[in-house]
Structure 1
């Protein structure tokens, strides 16, 4: 009887306490199923990697590769010489010290050619200065200092000047254009034209330049 009980006793459970189901045992025993699961995992990894690459390329194209036109502005201005006539004899002779700025927000540098900044009084040219070729580094502002002479010699017969001197404010505009190229990764070169269009006021009471506004 003891031998019969020993022969019919159930098998001992696994040491880790986990018993495989029939389905798991079948999968483990089927090499084709194992290969199929392995291929599915590999395919999943490939899809995830491809999606990641698309995201990286999209971000790169929308940020690094997106080329913007540099901004060209008057940053500051002051008067080192000041001579203004009266209402009955309207005239002015001024020396303006000005700082221009070429702001380049691209990830490549902006190399520009020589340019001229023209200063006007109500549509009539009263002075100009040169801006020489240079380079605005990537994501930085190139500062350019200059001094120029502003004169009313070309305004004879302009009745508006007497009125402006009487009001104490002489309006001035500055315009310019810089032709150049954006250089990306030493391979890509894109032409860009930075334009300046600024207005400012010469305040006679304080002999200063105020309200500089650039579009």
Structure 2
């Protein structure tokens, strides 16, 4: 009987699970990186949107905001003629050169129409002058020189004038209403009206302006 050959049987090596674990780990890391990138991108987009909103708000509140121009008389008033009566025979006939200032604080020009300025004494019109149409540039002041003549011809009551002439002080009021448009970015136009209301106190002896009060 043949002898059986002794054969050594080796057990099969256990299967190694490391390759599969490495693949799963790499996949998880890749997904995590993608998720972080998406979060960063979302943060950048949100930050950009907030920045754009702030820029638009600032632009709307500054550049695009339309402000009402201001009109005033300048203090540099020159008297070319100043004739007055006296306490018993009160009258006045005065010619002076004044400077009308249109201050525009907008980021666009202000174009205004022809305007009539009225000068009064004791609420009675004693003189008028026409201010020609013009333009005050963006964030600038337009200065217009006008020659004004005022006299007492229209006054019916002269008692107050007699007292003023005795005190050598005459008070006049100048009023005007400007109408026009503010132009922004060469496309948007906004109508704006503004008023001038100034009180002039004149020293008759020195023929100079004592005070100028504008509202």
Please give the TM-score of this superposition, normalised by the length of structure 1.
0.85
Q: Which moved more, 1:77-86 or 1:26-35?
A: 26-35
Show structure 2 runs of 5+ residues with no match. 1-24
Superposed displacement of residue 167, structure 1? 1.3
Show CA shifts across 1:87-130 (max 9, x none): 11111111111000000000011001000111000101111111
User: What is the rounded CA distance, in whole Å, between the counterparts of 2:63 and 2:133 in structure 1?
Assistant: 25
Give 1:210 shift.
Answer: 2.4
- Asked whether 1:106 is paired with 2:106, we answer yes
Match of 1:192 in 2: 192
Residue 63 of structure 2 corresponds to which residue in structure 1?
A: 64
Aligned-residue offset at 1:156? 4.0
Counterpart CA distance in 2 for 1:59 and 1:28 is 47
CA distance in 2 between counterparts of 1:133 and 1:214 reads 22
Contact 1:99 1:144 in 2 (8 A): yes
- CA offset at residue 205 of structure 1? 1.8
- In structure 1, the gaps of 5 or more residues are 1-25
In structure 1, the residue matched to 2:94 is 94
Q: Aligned in 2, Cα 1:212/1:27: closer, same or farther, shift over 3 Å?
A: farther
Q: Is the 8 A contact 1:173 1:200 kept in 2?
A: yes
SS at match of 2:176: strand
Compute the displacement of 1:157 (Å). Answer: 3.2
Matched, 1:32 2:37: no
Looking at structure 1, the residues matched to 136 and 180 of structure 2 have their Cα atoms a distance apart, in angstroms, of 10
Distance in 1 of aligned mates of 2:44 and 2:193: 46
SS in 2 for 1:89: coil
1:45 aligns with 2:47: no
In the other structure, the counterpart of 2:211 is 211
Q: Does 1:183 align with 2:170?
A: no
Mean alpha-carbon deviation: is it higher for 147-156 or for 175-184?
147-156
Moved segments of 4+, more than 3 Å: 26-29
CA distance in 2, matches of 1:97, 1:33: 80
Q: Distance between the aligned counterparts of 1:27 and 1:103, measured in 2?
A: 70
User: Which residue is equivalent to 1:23?
Assistant: none
Q: Equivalents in 2 of 1:72, 1:102: separation in Å?
A: 5
Q: 1:90 to 1:38 in 2, by over 3 A?
A: same
Change (3 A) 1:27 1:111: farther
